Amino acid sequence: EDQVTQSPEALRLQEGESSSLNCSYTVSGLRGLFWYRQDPGKGPEFLFTLYSAGEEKEKERLKATLTKKESFLHITAPKPEDSATYLCASGSNDYKLSFGAGTTVTVRA
């Protein structure tokens, strides 16, 4: 069974204080590793898909990287508007996404 574990559960950062979120996964036949952002009361918002180990993708202050067992979401010089829950999901060949519980990031001004 596919499993995704995210750490830490919560992260409190000062504005400008860079950090990384971890996503560990086990999946039979990785179709893609997905990152989403979720704001309170909203649905998940798509950020990145990573397909193979060594791949990296960037968007503004966010960079996602992938190894064979983990993915990291690096937040560089975060701003208060980066406060959200970040969800990681593995996609296997059966088209389902298996989500982790998320990391809730709070950035203080």
Partner 1 sequence: GAGVSQTPSNKVTEKGKYVELRCDPISGHTALYWYRQSLGQGPEFLIYFQGTGAADDSGLPNDRFFAVRPEGSVSTLKIQRTERGDSAVYLCASSLLSEEFFGPGTRLTVL
Contacts to partner 1 by CB under 8 A = 4, 31-32, 34, 36, 41-46, 49, 87, 89, 91, 94-102
User: Which is nearest to 100 in space by CA: 63, 73, 78, 68?
Assistant: 73
Euclidean distance between CA atoms 41 and 93, whole angstroms: 30
* Least distance CB 12 / partner 1 (angstroms): 17
Looking at residue 24, its amino acid is: S
* Least distance CB 89 / partner 1 (angstroms): 7
Sheet of 70-75, strands arranged across:
3-7, 19-26, 70-75, 62-66, 56-59
Give the nearer residue to partner 1 in terms of CB position, either 42 or 69.
Answer: 42
* Least distance CB 18 / partner 1 (angstroms): 24
Give the nearer residue to partner 1 in terms of CB position, either 72 or 99.
Answer: 99
